[in-house]
Structure 1
Amino acid sequence: MLTNRAKHYLIPKNNNLMFKQMKMLLPLVLLVFAIMACEKEETADDNTLVAEIVTANSLVATTPENLPATSQKYITDNYFDTYIETVEVAADKGYRVVLGNGENLFFTIRGRDIEFEGELRLNGPFGGNHPQGPCRRLARWMRGHGGQHDCDGDGVPDGPFAFDIAELPAAITAYVAAEYPDQTIRRAAFRDDRFLLLLNRNLVLAFDAEGNILAEVNPLEHCTRRCNSLTRDELSAEVAAHLAANFPASTFRAACGTERGTLVFLINNDRRLVLGFNLAGELVFQRP
């Protein structure tokens, strides 16, 4: 049994140890709170910036080539299954990119990807419509694999959907090896509970989360817009003439008609090509 004198010396010693431990932990706790505060502030700033881009009077059309290199890489790594339909820039604010699948992406002037995570209000700047497009239902972090993989090993994360080919389920790599023995996997992504694979001949395959094949992905697919499928023989004379004159050796893959015109998917020199025509059959855009 400890004497009162022993207790007198032991208790202060333990208290001092606890106090020292608390002093050591305090900076770490403060750092965690600081990071959380910064993330909250950054999200609020991103929400404001997206609203400013959408409502900017200076929003003007530009080309995908004028996007910052980091923005172009982000789209290539995370959205290789679709294409860029339009690009607009708001001076000193950032870019809005409309993809063929119906999603809208936003980037700062320097190219950092930003996302709106605020509350939608009917009397707000977006009128109740989601600025990221009609297809968006979940926040970006809930749609991917829960991380940002460094797929190329350069020490920089490639995005929320880009997926390391080496980490693909064995069922997927086995399927590709058996069904496409002459092709290799160039890129992979995981988005909305689907694995997406880009093969070396611009073929995109979709698999479910367990690795079962779903379908070949048509880059002309849109989440809400109706696009009536067209064969090559059903193309208008103007569109057919353009293809014959400019891409005589190309392989026709798909086409469809919308209320705005015609979309055509070709393979030209082993590269994907998406062409957009207006109702008069005039070329509006050409995208890889």
Structure 2
Amino acid sequence: MKRILFFALTGILAFAIGCKKDDTITDDSLAQEIEFSTQKVVIPTSELPTTMLDYIDENHFETYIEEAYMVPDKGYEAIMGDESLVYCDRNGRVLHPKRDRFRRGPCGHGEAIGVDELPANIIEYVETNYPDAEILRAKHMDNGRYIIKISEPHYILIFSADGAFIEATVLFYHCHPLGVPMDIANLPETITNYIEDNYPGSEILVAFHKNNGMYVIGVFTTEGRKIMVFDADGNLIFVRP
């Protein structure tokens, strides 16, 4: 009886220590374990935890999920279209690592803010130039800039730290270190033909040519926003909402 009790207590203690270890591991350490795990497997973006998807919708609204991974008993990784990274643990808690490697992409790092936290001149700019639009999302970048998403006409607006308008884009925003915007008329015919054949009645609103050769296309379809990514030869890689 004493032996059974001993093993039972030992098991409980081991479990408690394991839980304590999970609780105390830093977000940086866990993010690193997930990134370099040999057990990392590709998953559909829809299989990411809801808490992670909600966080991305709030904090990375100007881009899209390029790749999604899961590491058993560790957590999840999402690589965004702007090359920033998002991690969460196996329970769906979003990680907030402090090291730039895990929190900052080429376009910098930003955090979601409320519309009421935007400078007054940004609110005035939207009211004047887009009177029918609603500000849906806003974030403040660590370089001081503001990025906002408005409802009509599906624009992403970029403002300086003092609230001066810089530029507008449609459906998604990629900064210049990632590549360059391109004229839709100059897209390879294989890409435009694919979109016409598979999404009749859709409209190509924006195109971006990444430094790695990939084409990122923002298309408005009967189903709403679609981000389509093609390789350098014009072959479709994936479609994201």
| Fold match by TM threshold 0.5 | yes
The equivalent of 1:148 in structure 2 is none
In 2, Cα distance between the equivalents of 1:254 and 1:241? Answer: 16
> What is the 5 A alignment of 1:18-167?
42=24, 44-117=25-98, 130-132=101-103, 134-135=105-106, 161-167=111-117
Q: Deviations over 1:183-231 (max 9, x none)?
A: 1111222122122211113211111222211111462525633x34433
Say if 1:211 and 1:132 are closer, same or farther in 2 by CA, change over 3 A. closer
Query: TM-score, structure 2 length as denominator?
Result: 0.79
In 1, Cα distance between the equivalents of 2:164 and 2:182? Answer: 29
Query: TM-score, structure 1 length as denominator?
Result: 0.67
Q: Please, which runs of 5 or more residues in structure 2 have no aligned partner?
A: 1-19
Q: Deviations over 1:38-69 (max 9, x none)?
A: 9xx85x52222112111211111112111111
The equivalent of 1:255 in structure 2 is 207
Matched, 1:212 2:183: no
State which of 177, 195, 201 in structure 2 corresponds to 1:224.
Answer: 177
The equivalent of 2:146 in structure 1 is 195
Percent pairwise identity? 26
State which of 220, 223, 230 in structure 2 corresponds to 1:277.
Answer: 230
Task: Letter of the 2:52 partner, please give it.
Answer: S
In 2, Cα distance between the equivalents of 1:82 and 1:93? Answer: 25
How far residue 246 of structure 1 moved from its aligned partner, in angstroms, is 2.0
| Segment drifting more, 168-177 vs 273-282 | 273-282
The equivalent of 1:19 in structure 2 is none
CA contact (8 A) 1:96 1:105 kept: yes
In 2, Cα distance between the equivalents of 1:178 and 1:269? Answer: 29
In 1, Cα distance between the equivalents of 2:228 and 2:199? Answer: 11
CA contact (8 A) 1:135 1:223 kept: no
- Report which of the two has the higher share of strand: 2
Structure number with bigger Rg? 1
Question: Secondary structure in 1 aligned to 2:126?
Answer: helix
Question: Secondary structure in 1 aligned to 2:116?
Answer: helix
In 2, Cα distance between the equivalents of 1:270 and 1:211? Answer: 33
CA contact (8 A) 1:102 1:223 kept: no
In 1, Cα distance between the equivalents of 2:180 and 2:129? Answer: 29
In 1, Cα distance between the equivalents of 2:102 and 2:148? Answer: 27
The equivalent of 1:265 in structure 2 is 218
Say if 1:220 and 1:191 are closer, same or farther in 2 by CA, change over 3 A. closer
Question: Secondary structure in 1 aligned to 2:92?
Answer: coil
Q: Deviations over 1:52-95 (max 9, x none)?
A: 11121111111211111110000000111111111111111111
In 2, Cα distance between the equivalents of 1:110 and 1:217? Answer: 35
Task: Letter of the 2:118 partner, please give it.
Answer: L
How far residue 247 of structure 1 moved from its aligned partner, in angstroms, is 2.3
Task: Letter of the 1:76 partner, please give it.
Answer: D
Aligned residues: 216
